[in-house]
Amino acid sequence: MIRTVIFDMDGVIADTEPLHEKARNVLLTDLKLDVETISPRAIGRSKRTFWGEVVSRYALPYTADELTVREFDVLMDIAERSALRPSEGLRDLLVFLRNRNIRTAVASSSDRNYVEHILRLTGLREYFDAVACGDEVAHAKPAPDVYLRALALCGAAADETLAVEDSDTGAKAAAAAGIPCIGYDAAPYAKLQQTYAQCTYRAHRMCEIADIVQRADGARPSV
């Protein structure tokens, strides 16, 4: 029986990927680095890993953590000024889960101040029982750390949980934690298309996730 559903943040809770790119490019410009060459290297990687490589390659007088914090500051300012909305159908899905007494959590590689900021801007914080963030664990996705933390916060078992991810990196993290994953295949950008090879299910709309939850017990996995 499914008792918990854990959601990724970026690209699942809201279409924040363009905001990340804007923030990253602002910082790269401030650092007088080649945006067009460097920025695409960040896709599918944690910010600290990306900035660690940039610091090393270009001998910058900063740490990866310092640049990550700076990017999140820029990102939150951009998000505050954007007309950010939850993914279509997400609020209805969260109400559906609540009505079935299914716990919900967020498992994000992003820092807590940013995650909480986005949940506040989208008006969704009250719908989540727990939030696990990348700056609270030792290793970012695809390591399972943030999912294991989310399970612990919810008091949940992996085999009674579903994850919702829009990236192969995140799906690998869920799989490493023993959690079946729904690939949320709704990215409108070709450069963000994923294989979802680690996913047990695939959904193109949030309403499909409700159907997956209802038939997950004993259902034959479908992609």
Residues 58 and 131 in one domain: no
Q: What is the pLDDT of residues 164-193, one digit of tens each?
A: 999 999 999 999 999 999 999 887 666 667
Residues 54 and 119 in one domain: no
Confirm whether 32 is domain-assigned. yes
Residues 75 and 172 in one domain: no
Q: How far is CA 110 from the centre of its chain?
A: 8
CATH of the domain at 114: 3.40.50.1000
Residue-range definition of the domain harbouring residue 151: 4-14+85-215
The pTM assigned to this predicted structure is 0.89
Number of domain units in the chain: 2
Residues 72 and 94 in one domain: no
SS3 string of the chain? CCCEEEECCECCCECCHHHHHHHHHHHHHHCCCCHHHHHHHHCCCCHHHHHHHHHHHHCCCCCHHHHHHHHHHHHHHHHHHCCCCECCCHHHHHHHHHHCCCEEEEEECCCHHHHHHHHHHHCCHHHCCEEEEHHHCCCCCCCCHHHHHHHHHHCCCHHHEEEEECCHHHHHHHHHCCCCEEEECCCCCHHHCCCCCCCCEEECCHHHHHHHHHHCCCCCCCC
Domain boundary residue, one of 51, 81, 111: 81
Q: What is the pLDDT of residues 70-122, one digit of tens each?
A: 999 999 999 999 989 999 999 999 999 999 999 999 999 999 999 999 999 99
Residues 166 and 147 in one domain: yes
Residues 65 and 150 in one domain: no
**pLDDT over 90 for what percent of the chain?**
85
Confirm whether 54 is domain-assigned. yes
Residues 68 and 159 in one domain: no
Residues 109 and 184 in one domain: yes
Residues 33 and 108 in one domain: no
